[in-house]
Amino acid sequence: MTITDIIREFAKFGFTETPLTIAEMEHVIKRGWPMDVIYGLGCDLDNGWRMNEVYHLYEREVEEMDAYHAAEYAAYQDGLGEGQEL
């Protein structure tokens, strides 16, 4: 994902400017956040919330998503027959 991808996503939904700064976009890209989470964060910022008020909520959401996918993967691995791998 790139900064351009994020800018395009916001433009697709009518934003003429991206609510996130370049530094903020670089940060969430480095953290590997999915686009829907980045968009949600940007919408909150656009509605007047400050980054320090909402960032931790989105960080927690990403952590929960990662934990869910790890558990889902482990359950999938447990369901494979002996000697099978992904």
Does residue 82 carry a pLDDT above 70? no
**Residue 70: which pLDDT band, with cuts at 50, 70 and 90?**
confident
**Domain of residue 25, residue span:** 3-79
Report how many domains make up the chain: 1
pLDDT of residue 81: 52
Q: What is the mean pLDDT of residues 16-24?
A: 96
Q: What is the mean pLDDT of residues 30-45?
A: 95
Q: How far apart are CA 61 and CA 64, in angstroms?
A: 5
Greatest extent of the chain over all pairs of C-alpha atoms, in Å? 54
Does residue 68 carry a pLDDT above 90? no
- 8 occurs within a structural domain: yes
Q: How far apart are CA 39 and CA 28, in angstroms?
A: 11
- 59 occurs within a structural domain: yes
Give pTM, 2 decimals: 0.78
pLDDT of residue 65: 86
- Specify whether the backbone of 34 is left (phi greater than 0), alpha (psi in -120 to 50) or beta: beta
Using alpha carbons only, give the angle 3, 53, 68 rounded to the nearest 5 degrees: 70
- 26 occurs within a structural domain: yes
Q: How far apart are CA 38 and CA 4, in angstroms?
A: 13
Give the residue, 42 or 83, on which the prediction is more confident: 42
